[in-house]
Amino acid sequence: MKIAILSRDASLYSTRRLEEAGVEQGHTIQIIDYLRCYMNITSHNPQVIYQGELLEGFDAVIPRIGASNTFYGTAVVRQFEMMGVFAANESQAISRSRDKLRCLQLLSKQGIGLPVTGFAHSTKDVEGLINTVGGAPLVIKLLEGTQGIGVVLTETHQAAKSVIEAFRGLDANILVQEFIAEAKGADIRCFVIGDKVIAAMKRQGAPGEFRSNLHRGGNAEKIKLTPEERSTAVRAAKTMGLRIAGVDLLRSNHGPVVMEVNSSPGLEGIEKATEINVAGKIIEFLEKHAAPNKTHDRIKY
Ligand code: ADP
């Protein structure tokens, strides 16, 4: 197969591992900086041009689109889809999962476990919003945040109110969420490919830190999932329309709750913690499923 990896940086661990695994399995791999692609959007003959070269003959693309480049990155993925190229994750699914609020709304419709979550525009309704989600302690999250930045734990009603008002004063969109204290600063990353969790790790935040992000100094170890956790992760990925996803769960008193579904999950943490060849499994998935004109997103929202 001829596979394109859409990535801004060929030296990133995930990009390198996907390239390595593809080459090892006998494929031709090209790493393409999607911000350097330009597109010819003409009737019957959509094209992608990369540094002057017309991109042709690809069987699959693996999008690794950074959160800050979702708009242009998904446009490039969509252009490949218009050309009939199989996308490991489709542009619609990537856009959908990047919007945290949309993601939670869709998951809730499917009855997937979630922390009780509220969202409001006006600060005039702060009291009502806090009460809706059950009062302090609460977690307040910037809708646009990643890697734990903009995720704040407020222990008291007054602190919650002040933080909400401060964020809203800056015109930031926020989610207000029940604090799952029993997770004890740990979360679970489930790596989903197709309809299976192929690897899972538990991430534990640094001492005194409720956020488990590895970028915030957390550490990771391999973990065995319960059947309920497995099925929650697979259903969450499916609800987003993602074939490849990193689903983050918290272990709550009322079962697994989904925090987030990531469309470009990193490979470094999970491969190192589990010693599973995740990159190889992504390539194997493409070998089995990539076919021309197989765009399949049927999700309405
Ligand atoms: P980001 O996308 O920026 O990583 P998350 O929503 O995943 O933000 O939150 C970062 C971390 O904070 C999570 O991995 C989890 O450990 C912790 N966390 C987030 N929300 C809650 C919550 N409602 N209850 C308990 N811990 C939480």
267 and 191 part of one domain = yes
85 and 139 part of one domain = no
**Which of 75, 55, 109 minimizes the C-alpha distance to 239?**
109
105 and 194 part of one domain = yes
109 C-alpha to ligand 1 centroid (Å): 21
277 and 256 part of one domain = yes
CATH number of the domain within which 132 lies: 3.30.1490.20
Q: Is residue 267 part of a domain?
A: yes
Q: Is residue 301 part of a domain?
A: no
pLDDT in tens, the chain (301 residues): 999 999 999 999 999 999 999 999 999 999 999 999 999 888 888 899 999 999 999 999 999 999 999 999 999 999 999 999 999 999 999 999 999 899 999 999 999 999 999 998 877 788 899 999 999 999 999 887 777 788 999 999 999 999 998 988 888 888 999 999 999 999 999 999 999 999 999 999 988 899 988 778 889 999 999 999 999 999 999 999 999 999 999 999 999 999 999 999 999 999 999 999 999 999 999 999 998 888 778 887 8
Q: Which of residues 152, 179, 206 is at a domain's end? A: 179
Quick one: which atom of ligand 1 is closest to the CA of 212?
Answer: 16
122 and 163 part of one domain = yes
| Minimal-distance CA residue to ligand 1 atom 25 | 180
- Beta strand 60-63 with 86-87 is parallel
- Global confidence as pTM: 0.94
Residues with Cβ within 8 Å of 66's Cβ and at least 6 positions away in sequence, in order, are 8, 73, 264
- Please give all residues whose beta carbon lies within 6 A of any atom in ligand 1, as ranges: 115, 139, 141, 145-148, 151, 177-180, 183, 187, 210-213, 248, 250, 259-260
Q: Residues 70, 228: contact at Cβ < 8 Å?
A: no
Quick one: which atom of ligand 1 is closest to the CA of 148?
Answer: 3
| Minimal-distance CA residue to ligand 1 atom 11 | 211
277 and 240 part of one domain = yes
Q: Is residue 294 part of a domain?
A: no
Structural domain span for residue 63: 2-96
CATH number of the domain within which 195 lies: 3.30.470.20
